[in-house]
Amino acid sequence: MAAKDSPLKQFEIDPISNIELGGYNISFTNSSFAMLITVLVITLFLTLTVNTRSIIPSRMQLISELMYNFIAQLLSDTVGDNGKKYFPFVFSLFMFVLIGNMVGMIPYQFTFTSHIIVTFALAAVVFIGVTILGFINHGIKFFTFFYIPGVPFYMHPLLIPIEVISYLSRPISLSVRLFANMLAGHTLLKVFAGFVVSMPFFTGVFPLAFIVALTGLEILIAFLQAYVFAILTCLYINDAYHLH
Amino acid sequence: MPQLNPEFFVSQLFWLAVFFTFLFVFLWRVSLPRIATVLEKRQNKIDENLSSAKELQEQAMEIEKKINDQINKAKLETDEKIKETINALQENVTSQLSSLDKDLEKKVSDAEKEILKSKDDQMKNINNEIVNITKLTVGKITDIEFSDNELNKVIETHKGNFN
């Protein structure tokens, strides 16, 4: 398959303006542009819809409030009262991933959440933050997190390395989950879009219909992955408060 | 796969850090407090309305209790009044009846007295008539004149035989 028609071509990064800082290439790219749009959409929406601060909300204000309550509820269900401090962070994370995914659903628009480096950076922030939080809350006792009580003593040499590995793989699983979902979804859409063009006569409507259905599914996945990212973050924060 | 090309890793991380930090700070400092104030304001309003509704309900219950008390009081008063009236009427009736009885008794006794009197009078008259008739009869038959007193004496002695 020619590189021009590759379904992976959509993930290529094109610099819009070349910037260099301290020897590093920090060009403003189509990925950065997508992030800019995402941030603008979130900030403008959440600011303008709540501008009137009316007690009886408009429909748009209601959407903002629903999002707020959705994450607030999620955080209080998983972490409890301790979680209130982390609400702005979890909310930002959720909105950033959600709107990033949604912006990616616009045709010809770049999806920055389909880049492992972006999702890994987000996951790493969560992982490092949660680990620091664990040490702040429990000090050296945080290591007992890897010790599972109520298990026969001879199992510990086996279980403790497993627990450590599972803890260390958290950022990987968190980032790869989002990245792989976005990558697979967009690749599949592109592959079927290729079929629409290459199939003879009117038979192209079948893959087209499939794309329509798949787009709906992708929008669902876009929301679902943002939700999963947020809820896992909440669960990790909870782990930093409550050891086994 | 373009994702594994490290050429733009630094650029991606840099812009991610810039935009995500901006987003986080903006939401934390501006957007979320706004939404929180709105939600709080609404909750306060709801609480206020609920408490005032509760207060009004309590007031309504108090008023209802007062009304019931008044109704009960009025009922008791009415019962009392009815009883009093019945008693008064009964007393009135008994007193009137007794006075009527007295009147009647008096009238009856008066009438009895009258009757006795007239009976006596009649008896006297009868005596006189008997005397007269006897005088006339005796005079016609025998030409003997008796005085009234003599005749009376004779009649008195025979009075038991007439009746």
DSSP string, B27-62: IIIIIHHHHHHHHHHHHHHHHHHHHHHHHHHHHHHH
CA-CA-CA-CA torsion sign (B75, B77, B79, B82)? negative
Q: What is the reported pLDDT for A2?
A: 44
Q: What pairs with residue A21 in β-bridges?
A: A24
Q: Are B23 and A42 in contact (CB under 8 A)?
A: yes
Q: Which of A91, A176, A190 to mutate to test the interface with B (most CBs of B within 10 A)?
A: A91
- Which of residues 185 through 244 in chain A touch B, CB cutoff 8 A? none
Closest CA of chain B from A34, distance in Å: 10
Touching B: A residues 137-176, CB under 8 Å? none
CB contact under 8 A, A47 and B20: no
Q: For residue A230, give every residue at least 6 positions away whose Cβ sits within 8 Å of its Cβ, in sequence order, or none.
A: A71, A74, A90, A93, A94, A97
Number of domains, chain A? 1
Query: How far apart (Å, rounded) are the C-alpha atoms in residues A52 and B38?
Result: 9
User: Given the structure tokens 């709107």, which residue do they identify?
Assistant: A99
Q: Would you state the pLDDT for residue B162?
A: 53
- Which residues in chain B come in under a pLDDT of 50? none
Give me the pLDDT at residue A1, please: 41
Are residues B3 and A116, on separate chains, in Cβ contact within 8 Å? yes
Q: Are A111 and A31 in contact (CB under 8 A)?
A: no
Instruction: Report the residue of A6, A10, A13 to disrupt the B interface, i.e. the one with the largest count of B CBs within 10 Å.
Output: A13
The boundaries of the domain holding residue A71 are: 3-241
How many helices and strands, by DSSP H and E, does chain B display? 3, 0
Round to the nearest angstrom and report the end-to-end CA distance of chain A: 52
Specify the residue for token string 């935009």.
Answer: B19
Partner B contacted by A65 (CB < 8 A): yes
For residue B9, count other CB atoms closer than 10 A to its CB: 19
Cβ atoms of A103 and A37 closer than 8 Å: yes
The structure tokens listed for A145 are 């997190």
Mutate to test the interface with A, among B5, B32, B45 (most CBs of A within 10 A): B32
Distance CA B2, CA B19 (A): 22
In Å, what is the CA distance from B100 to each residue of A223, B91, B108?
Answer: 106, 14, 12
pLDDT tens digits, chain A, 244 residues: what are they?
445 568 888 888 888 888 888 888 888 999 999 999 999 999 999 999 988 888 888 899 999 999 999 999 999 999 988 888 999 999 999 999 999 999 999 988 899 999 999 999 999 999 999 999 999 999 888 888 888 888 888 888 898 999 999 999 999 999 999 999 999 999 999 999 888 888 888 888 899 999 999 999 999 999 999 999 999 999 999 999 888 7
Q: Is A26 on the interface with B (CB under 8 A)?
A: yes
Q: What is the pLDDT of residue A66?
A: 94
Q: ipTM of this model?
A: 0.90
Q: Does A14 touch chain B (CB under 8 A)?
A: no
Which run of H or E residues covers position A24? strand A24-25
With beta carbons less than 8 A apart as the criterion, state whether A29 and A16 touch: yes
Q: Is A89 on the interface with B (CB under 8 A)?
A: yes
